[in-house]
Amino acid sequence: MSTATADPTRSWVRAFVASLGFVAVLWVVEIADAVTPRQSLDRFGIEPRSEDGLVGIALAPLLHGSFAHLEANSVPLLILGFLVATVSTARFVAVLAWSWVVSGVGVWLVAPADSITVGASGLVFGLLTYLLVAGFLERSAVRILIGIGVFFVYGGILLGVLPGTPGVSWQGHFFGAVGGVLAAFQLADRRR
């Protein structure tokens, strides 16, 4: 019998610590950025189709343009991250990794050349689409209901994958969402 089955409270605590820990890292980085001259860390974001911009694929989700930008990402990261991490911390890390890489590479390939993209929004979209798709792939009634609930609460943000808002990287949102779907297909437990 697994620990998660034996003690669901323990797995929920572990899930909360994982999502809170990740968001705490983002806040520490943003505080460090705020105290550096001219917020110099943001220059390490994704610069499309440049060699220097490749570093941004690894760093951009850790960086945010402002505290307001980080606040906008923090609550969904906490909630959606918690819901994914209740399956396992490894699943949470894997979904973040898929969203992180697919979003970063997508932005690097298709965003406007004169832009620098920062922020964890791609991760939010990846966690969201993972939760929407994974329950159906795994044929889990509980996870399907969670996906439906998540859709009712956060489904409206899916419009963020469309171009339209100046200064917002729809590319990061779109490719983050693609990363979440790919993660769902890759990680689905189809034994049922």
Place of tokens 């819901």: 83
Residue 48: DSSP 8-state: T
Does residue 37 surpass a pLDDT of 90? Answer: no
Total Cβ atoms within 10 A of residue 53: 22
Domain ranges of the chain: 3-187
Place of tokens 């490749």: 54
Total Cβ atoms within 10 A of residue 154: 18
What is the arithmetic mean of pLDDT over 7-26? 92
- What integer pLDDT is reported at residue 9 of this predicted model? 83
Mean pLDDT of the chain: 90
pTM value > 0.85: yes
- Residue 7 near residue 74, CB atoms below 8 Å: no
Query: In angstroms, how far apart are the furthest CA atoms of the chain?
Result: 55
- What integer pLDDT is reported at residue 161 of this predicted model? 78
What class, spelled out in words, does domain 3-187 have in CATH? mainly alpha
Lowest mean pLDDT among 14-18, 19-23, 35-39: 35-39
Q: Measuring CA to CA, how many Å separate 57 from each of 87, 102, 140, 149, 177?
A: 27, 9, 33, 31, 16
| Helix orientation angle between 89-110 and 170-187, rounded to the nearest 10 degrees | 140
- What integer pLDDT is reported at residue 192 of this predicted model? 47
Q: How far apart are CA 41 and CA 61, in angstroms?
A: 12
pLDDT in tens, 143-160: 999 999 999 998 888 887
